[in-house]
Amino acid sequence: MEHITDTRIEQSQPTAVTLGNFDGLHLGHRSLINLTKQFAEEQGLKSVVFTFSPHPMLVFKKKDDFALIMAPDEKKFQMEQMGVDTYIEYPFDAEFAAMSPEDFAIKLIFEKLNCQVLVVGEDYHFGKGAAGNYEMLKELGAERGIMVIGVPKVLYEEDRVSSSRIRRCLIEKDLEDANQMLTVPYFIMGTVKEGKKLGRTIGFPTVNIEAHPLKLFPPNGVYATKTLYKGKYYYGVTNIGKNPTVNGTVKIVETFLLDFNEMIYGEQLQTFFYKFLRSEEKFPSVEELQRQIGINAEQAREYFASEEYEHWKSEQE
C-alpha cells in the first residue's frame, strides 16, 4: 500500500477516490471504501482513500476531551488490511481549512488525484465553512466527465452509524454495540514496555502496552480481551487505569494473558476489547487484589466460552 503523509499527492494512474475522516473505520466508512475498491477493480483504476492529519477536531479544538477511536498507526494498519492501493493523510491546518470547496474538489481531488470516480457519503461536507456538499461534487464532476457516487447513511438498530455514536458507546462501556458498528472489535495497538513487575509477584504476570496519547480509552476498569501476538490470539483480562491498590498514578493498559508466560518487552501487540467486567477500585490489600484478578480471569474464560462471544470467534479465528 502506498502511504502519503504530505502534499505531494499527484497520481499518474487514473483513480477511484473516497473522502472522509474515517475515524474507527466503522460500517459506514467500510461501505465507502469497499465501493471505491469495487469501482477501481471494475474500471482498472487505483483505489485511493483520502483523509486528513491531524483530525480536524484536533485543529479546531471544539472539544477539549476529543480523542481518536483509532490512532494514526492503527488506522493505517486497517487500511492495509482492507487492501487499499493508496492511503493519503493530507496535512490539515487552518490555512487548508480555508480553501474554497471548488478549489478542494477541482484542483486537489479531481486534478491532482487524476480522479475518474469519486465516492462520498450523501451527507459529506467539505471546504471553507463546510459549504461544499455531495450535490456540488456531482455538478462539478459532471462538467468534467467524472462519476460522483453518493452513498446513503448506514444504519445500526435504526440509527445512523457514526464515529461520535461509537465514542459515546465506548464511554458508556457499551462494547457490544460499539463493536458491531466498528465490525472489528475496538482495539489498542502498542509496544510492550517494562512495568513494575508487581503482577509476577502475585501470580498474574502482565504486559503493559504503551498506546498513542490521542487514543480514546474506555473508562477505567477491567475488560475481557483478546490479544494478537505473532499471529496467535491469547485470551485475557485488561485493566485500564492507575492501579490504585499499589499507589499507581499514571494511566496504563495492563493485560494478563491466560495461558501465556513469555517476556515480550519491545514487541507489538493488538488487544481487542469485548466485555466490561468491573470498574477500577482500590482493594484493602494486595491479597484481595490477587483474589479479584483470579475471579476476573475466570469470568473472561466463561465469556470466551459463551454464545455471546460466538459471533466474534467465527469472524476472527
pLDDT tens-digit series, residues 279-309:
988 877 778 888 888 899 999 999 999 999 9
Per-residue pLDDT, averaged over 257-280, amounts to 91
- In CATH terms, the fold of domain 2-160 is Rossmann fold (3.40.50)
Residue among 180, 184, 182, 187 nearest 74 (CA): 187
Rg (C-alpha) for the chain, rounded Å, is: 22
| Mean residue pLDDT across the chain | 91
Please write the tens of the pLDDT for every residue from 97-149: 999 999 999 999 999 999 999 999 999 999 998 999 999 999 999 999 999 99
Q: Is the pLDDT of residue 272 over 90?
A: yes
- At residue 70, the pLDDT reads 96
Residue among 29, 19, 2 nearest 141 (CA): 19
State phi, psi for 211 to the nearest 5 degrees. -95, 170
CA torsion, ordered 28, 65, 90, 99, to nearest 10 deg = 100
3-class secondary structure for 10-47? CCCCCEEEEECCCCCCCHHHHHHHHHHHHHHHHHCCEE
Angle at 63 between CA 60 and CA 66, to 5 degrees: 100
- At residue 63, the pLDDT reads 76
Q: Is the pLDDT of residue 201 over 60?
A: no
Q: Does domain 185-316 have CATH number 1.10.443.10?
A: no
Distance from C-alpha of 56 to C-alpha of 72, rounded to nearest angstrom: 13
Return the amino acid letter for 96. F
Distance from C-alpha of 256 to C-alpha of 272, rounded to nearest angstrom: 13
Place of cell 484542483: 107
Q: Is the pLDDT of residue 204 over 70?
A: no
- At residue 288, the pLDDT reads 81
**Where do the domains of the chain lie?**
2-160, 185-316
Please write the tens of the pLDDT for every residue from 218-266: 999 999 999 999 999 999 999 998 654 444 445 679 999 998 888 888 9
Q: Which of 182-186, 193-197, 199-203, 291-295 has the lowest mean pLDDT?
A: 199-203
Q: Which residue has the higher pLDDT, 249 or 215?
A: 215
85: cell is 492501493
Per-residue pLDDT, averaged over 141-161, amounts to 97
State phi, psi for 197 to the nearest 5 degrees. 60, 25
Contact 251, 217 (CB under 8 A): yes
Query: CA torsion sign, 232 to 188 to 192 to 200?
Result: negative
In this prediction, residue 317 has a pLDDT band, given cuts at 50, 70 and 90, of low
Write 53-59 long-range contacts (CB < 8 A, 24+): 53/5, 53/89, 53/90, 53/91, 53/92, 54/92, 55/21, 55/23, 55/92, 56/21, 56/92, 56/97, 58/214, 59/92, 59/93, 59/94, 59/97
The helix (H) or strand (E) run that includes residue 146 is none
Please write the tens of the pLDDT for every residue from 37-79: 999 999 999 999 999 999 989 888 777 778 999 999 999 999 9
